[in-house]
Amino acid sequence: MDAGLKQRDECEWVIEPHAGMRVPAVLYASRELVDAMDAKVFEQLRNVATLPGIVGEAYAMPDAHWGYGFPIGGVAAFDPEQGGVVSAGGVGFDISCGVRTMLSGLKKDDIEKVKERLADSLFRHIPAGVGSTGSMKLSPTEMRAMLLGGAHWAVERGYGHAADLARIEEHGCIAGANPDAVSERAKARQQEEMGTLGSGNHYLEVQYVAQVFNNGIAKVFGLSEGDVVVSIHCGSRGLGHQIGTEFLKDMAVGAAQAGIHLPDRELACAPVKSDLGQRYLGAMRAAINCALANRQIITHLTRETFANVLPGTTLPLLYDVSHNTCKEEMHMVDGKRRRLFVHRKGATRAFGPGHSELPAEFNRTGQPVLIGGSMGTSSYILAGASAGEERAFGSACHGAGRAMSRSQAMKRWKGRSVIDELAARGILIRSPSLRGVAEEAPLAYKDVSAVVEASQRAGLAKIVARLEPMVCIKG
């Protein structure tokens, strides 16, 4: 393990500044999770700590694994008044990929009676997989409106309800989006992809609450054992990926021109106050709105399907939160409230009780933190903790985190056998790609229960409920 890590607490490890690091690097994880991590995670975390204008510490969550530039599970905040930067590699390619969870008012037995029919109906109604397209094709005017309006745009066009917006991060639309900073290539890739899941680790899952750990918070969230919920995990599709690809190239050139030394070219960045930095922020925010609109449309399609199979089901929204973003936020640093640009790559915002950006009903509980498992394994709902805002700028883990690459998973498992094994456990998988199923085999990921337990022990969030899958529509 070594890598310069020193244990500071039960689930907190630190690498003190050296070799160009401006701040310490901190990893939140149990010893078992740390021992199993690729050493590249520690190297990437140290590299993040060298970037200009970084504030506090560079953080990695318990599900951290090797990524592009930043480790996936990485969190870092930058002060624009101190030369702080924005990094496309610190956000990731799937901008605003996130999880949305809906309540159903149904119990597990209600689903068991119609599970096959529901699985088939969801699979027919919600496009999934590489290159999947939806029923709409956006005109240039509608594309611009969507990039500016996010979930508001979707609701205005009949996809969902105004009440949904209060339960979405940024209330469904982030300010400062600039469609003019989004290339025509990126817009073209998204033109027919609205309302689609995409591929990789994206999914729509029908789940039931298997265990409640905090009855008080669960009651506020509307959860009790045996309840059925539906979770959607997807992002900004081709548009976000194209934005990431293009700006990483521009930032690699721009960093040198700005006199920024990069220990790794993949950490390409630009000063927040530069023209390039502002253009990226405008494009990235447009992609955030795209992801929020996309999940809103999928929500509508899911509600239509449930209402057809189980009449009277309405699926109100519990919460929607992203885990690949750079957000402008106010945080206390060294006793002063400062405006920072917080990168969360494979890390979820997890604001604690009393935070001004949360709906009133979550004032005492903290924000719902939605942790997606891997196909066939548990997912979790946590609640943001006040201590987490001091420890990692109000951030927590986002999922299990990969334990092996997709190519390694392909060599070990066959998609058909994974589907059959899960069916024997009562979990129905529907996917257009057997290869995709093999790549996302449950054991290709870390133990999500160990990840969320480490997050709780580190004070980042509180475990509220464990969810188990019944039906998974897999891209």
> What is the per-residue pLDDT across 8-36, written as a single tens digit (0 to 9) for each?
999 999 999 998 999 999 999 999 999 99
Q: Mean pLDDT, the chain, as a whole number?
A: 95
Q: Of all helices (H) and strands (E), which one includes residue 472?
A: strand 461-474
pLDDT value at 287 more than 60: yes
Can you give the pLDDT at residue 375? Answer: 87
Q: CA-to-CA distance for 209 and 206, rounded, in angstroms?
A: 10
Q: What is the C-alpha to C-alpha distance for residues 155 and 296, in angstroms, rounded to an integer? A: 8
Q: How many CA atoms lie within 13 A of 80 on its CB side?
A: 20
Mean pLDDT of 367-375: 93
Query: CA-based angle 330:333:336, to the nearest 5?
Result: 80
- Annotate 17-80 with DSSP letters as a single string: --TT-SS-EEEE--HHHHHHS-HHHHHHHHHHTTSTTEEEEEEEEEEEE--SSSPEEEEEEE-G
Q: 67 pLDDT band (50/70/90 cuts)?
A: very high
457-474: pLDDT as tens digits: 999 999 999 999 999 999
Catalytic residue among 202, 241, 343, 398: 398
For the chain, domain boundaries: 6-474
User: For the residues 195-201, what does the mean pLDDT come to?
Assistant: 90
Q: What is the DSSP string of 182-206?
A: S-HHHHHHHTTTTT---STT-EEEE
Please give the pLDDT value at position 2.
59
Percent of the chain whose pLDDT exceeds 90: 86
Report which listed range, 110-114, 195-199, 408-412, is most confident: 110-114
Asked: is 6-474 a CATH 3.90.1860.10 domain? The reply is yes
Q: Provide the pLDDT for residue 445.
A: 85
CA 463 to chain centre: 18
Quick one: what percent of the chain has pLDDT higher than 70? 99
pLDDT in tens, 136-189: 899 999 999 999 999 999 999 999 999 999 999 999 999 999 999 999 999 999
CB-based contact 204:126 (threshold 8 Å): yes
Question: pLDDT by residue (tens digit) across 423-452?
Answer: 999 999 999 888 888 888 888 888 999 999
pLDDT at 1 over 80: no
> Beta strand 461-474 with 428-430: parallel, antiparallel or unpaired?
parallel
Distance CA(430)–CA(416), nearest Å, equals 11
Smallest Cα–Cα separation from 278: which of 205, 385, 197, 181?
181
In the predicted model, is pLDDT for residue 129 greater than 80?
no
pLDDT, residue 403, reads 82
Contact between 375 and 442 under an 8 Å Cβ cutoff? The reply is yes
Instruction: Bin 293: left if φ > 0, else alpha if -120 < ψ < 50, else beta.
Output: alpha
DSSP string, 328-377: EEEEEETTEEEEEEEEEESEEE---TT-TTS-GGGTTT--EEEEB--TTS
Asked if 331 is an active-site residue, the reply is no
Q: What is the average per-residue pLDDT within 369-393?
A: 91
**CA–CA separation, 253 vs 440, rounded Å?**
35
Q: What is the mean pLDDT of residues 106-115?
A: 98
Per-residue pLDDT at 186: 98
